[in-house]
Amino acid sequence: MEAVQEQDDSAWEAARAAHYGDFVAARAADDVAAMAAAALGLASLQRFGGPGGRTPALLHEAYLAADSPATRARLAAALARSWVYGNDAARGASFALEAVELAGETRDPTVLADALDAQLATSWGPDDLSERLGITARLQDVAAHVDDLRTRMDAHLWRLTTALETLDVTGMHRQLAALDLLADETGSPTVRYFAMTRRAMHATLIGDLGRARELADAAYALGTDTAIPDAFAVYHEQRAEIARHADDIDFLADEAPLAEDYAVRRGIESLIAEAAVLALQAGDTGRASRLVQQVGGGGFGQVPADVDWLLTVAKTTEAAAGLGYADIARAGMTLMAPYAGRCVLNAGAVVCVGVVEDYLWRAAVVSADPRADDWRAAAVAAYRRLDAPWWLRRMSAPYDVKRGAPVAASRPAARRTVELRRLPGQAVWSVGPAGEARLLPDMKGLHYLRALLQRPDAEITALEMSALAAGHGTAVAQPDAGERLDRQALTAYRNRLREIDEELDEAKSWNDPARAERIETEREALLRELAGATGLGGRARSMGGTAERARVAVRKAIAAALDRIGAEDPATARLLRRAVHTGSVCRYEQDADTPIDWLL
């Protein structure tokens, strides 16, 4: 799955680069329409919850340049959504309102529907439900007599989301059926993807886990084929929820660190909270505790009041209650209490993660709040209404009021066996989980890694590492070897850089991108060489003695080995990257939360 995501990322990055190239060319040609098309294409590829990169800036530039109300409305709507997707809904709100105003001037229902979709995205916070319901109704009115695929699909998805939020079970069924029919009528793979993922959500909710898996798997394959930007994230969210309902501990134990890693790399706080719950159910209390403290240890004041607020607070509260952290659970309970009577959703009905009263009950038990029984009764009634058997069973679990967690045997983190060993008599290494190891060619970095794994938690100098890997017991330090570049060469490099800057300005003024690219390449190469050859204040840097050369060599060799491992087994590479520290002194740091037996 990791390899598939890397392939998806490559295709996604290539598509983004193509749109950016189109935008630059359109800007140079002063082609306003082409700028708008390129910026909108780039916006269509933004992933939910991650940073937008240059997308908002290019959308804004195109928006300022556009003179057509319809084009400006489309760009303003896309800009609003871009800020929402990047977790800054407040910044996008004014653009959504302007998009609606501009769309009204066009009298084009598809432009108005797009603007209303953006307004809904910026009104997705916990306190915006009334406004959200009103805008959704208006969007449905606009879509009612428009035979536009995107307009109709957006209207159904928003109504499905608000129906589930408010426990409108009949409304939920109607919108699921409407999405199925729209997919059948149009044959659109995009509509089919959204219909299947929401059916997978519902199948999980009602306990039809086999059907849920089939739908999630098929939707992921379709989403990958049709380049849906969030197909990977949606698939993992849904499969993790299915695993929770099936109590698939092995899946959850593997998924929790993957979710954490994905969240950290993209800055998605709600996913940190979700990872805490996955880890807790898998018995990895150490990871769960660390993640709960990360999100809720200082209170929830830093959590933005946007689409993910309720999800983030609810999941953190659940994990805190399960761990017995009464203060964090109580803080979450206090914040969520005004929203009783709602379902907690992940994004646009991707996953239903229970009702607010469920989380209030758990927090109330651990903090000895007298409202616990009332909240439990309300949650039970809601789950019966939703026909949600797994959630209903959770409400029947015996509770230890003192600890505030369901009575269950604690699950110690399972030990794993992982190989990193050279095969006898061969220039080949076996690396990876026992029984699933991959064969890799001999590399110096693998010898260094093995030397560290043989002495866990010990600090070993890079010089010792070099000697150990070479089969020697000791290493002799040698003095500094002089300057890396002599002063005459440094002067020549700096003079050439000044010439390059002039040539680059000339190439840009002549609108010669090919020449500019060649000059930039040379400039970057010279800057890298100068950076390596000079120290503070631009003084010439010495080549260093054996200790410095060993530090650089060991670091590079280990990095190369980890890259090679990552190409075959990303999970093992990630495990090693977290635990191995390089520098003048190197160390393999054992993690008690993920015990491993290394076969060396």
HEC sequence for 170-227: HHHHHHHHHHHHHHHHHCCHHHHHHHHHHHHHHHHHCCCHHHHHHHHHHHHHHHHHCC
Say what the pLDDT of residue 316 is: 96
Q: With pLDDT > 90 as the criterion, what percentage of the chain qualifies?
A: 50
Q: With pLDDT > 70 as the criterion, what percentage of the chain qualifies?
A: 84
- Kindly report the number of other CB atoms within 10 A of residue 198's CB atom: 25
Say what the pLDDT of residue 570 is: 82
Residue 554 binned pLDDT confidence (cut-offs 50, 70, 90): confident
Say what the pLDDT of residue 306 is: 87
Asked whether residue 197 carries a pLDDT value surpassing 50, the answer given is yes
Report d(CA 450, CA 598) in Å as an integer: 9
Mean residue pLDDT of the chain comes to 84
Asked whether residue 406 carries a pLDDT value surpassing 60, the answer given is no
Least confident range from 304-308, 362-366, 516-520: namely: 516-520
Say what the pLDDT of residue 475 is: 44
Which residue did the predictor score with more confidence, 593 or 103?
Answer: 103
Least confident range from 40-49, 342-351, 468-477: namely: 468-477
Q: What count of residues does the chain have?
A: 600
Say what the pLDDT of residue 546 is: 64
Phi and psi torsions of 345, nearest 5°: -120, 155
Say what the pLDDT of residue 31 is: 92
Residue 403 binned pLDDT confidence (cut-offs 50, 70, 90): very low
Say what the pLDDT of residue 531 is: 58
Average pLDDT of 126-153?
A: 91
Distance of CA 159 to the CA centre of its chain: 26
Q: Which of 314, 275, 224, 287 is nearest to 1 (CA)?
A: 224
CB 185 within 8 A of CB 178: no
Q: Are strands 399-400 and 405-406 parallel, antiparallel or unpaired?
A: antiparallel
CB 259 within 8 A of CB 271: yes
Asked whether residue 479 carries a pLDDT value surpassing 80, the answer given is no
Which residue did the predictor score with more confidence, 241 or 472?
Answer: 241
Asked whether residue 295 carries a pLDDT value surpassing 90, the answer given is yes
Give the pLDDT confidence of 49-73 residue by residue, as tens digits: 777 888 999 999 999 999 899 999 9
Say what the pLDDT of residue 15 is: 85
Say what the pLDDT of residue 431 is: 92
Report d(CA 169, CA 293) in Å as an integer: 36
CB 53 within 8 A of CB 237: no
Judged by phi (left if over 0) then psi (alpha if -120 to 50, else beta), residue 432 lies in left
Which residues are within 8 A (CB) of 409 and not within 5 positions of it... i.e. 6 or more apart?
none
Asked whether residue 537 carries a pLDDT value surpassing 70, the answer given is no
Phi and psi torsions of 83, nearest 5°: -70, -35
Say what the pLDDT of residue 262 is: 87
Say what the pLDDT of residue 540 is: 46
Average pLDDT of 337-364?
A: 94
CB 431 within 8 A of CB 420: yes
DSSP 337: G
Side-chain half-sphere exposure of 525, counting CA atoms within 13 A: 8
Distance of CA 412 to the CA centre of its chain: 28
- Kindly report the number of other CB atoms within 10 A of residue 13's CB atom: 11
Average pLDDT of 157-178?
A: 94
Give the pLDDT confidence of 199-212 residue by residue, as tens digits: 999 999 999 999 99
Asked whether residue 43 carries a pLDDT value surpassing 60, the answer given is yes
Average pLDDT of 218-232?
A: 91
Which residues are within 8 A (CB) of 223 and not within 5 positions of it... i.e. 6 or more apart?
193, 197, 230, 231, 234, 235
Asked whether residue 556 carries a pLDDT value surpassing 50, the answer given is yes
Say what the pLDDT of residue 476 is: 41
Give the pLDDT confidence of 493-536 residue by residue, as tens digits: 666 777 777 777 777 767 666 677 677 766 766 666 665 554 43
Average pLDDT of 246-252?
A: 92
Least confident range from 171-175, 429-433, 542-546: namely: 542-546
Least confident range from 318-327, 474-483, 580-589: namely: 474-483
DSSP 431: E
Say what the pLDDT of residue 528 is: 63
Residue 472 binned pLDDT confidence (cut-offs 50, 70, 90): very low
Give the alpha-carbon dihedral of 468, 474, 476, 481, to 10 degrees. Answer: 0
Say what the pLDDT of residue 502 is: 75
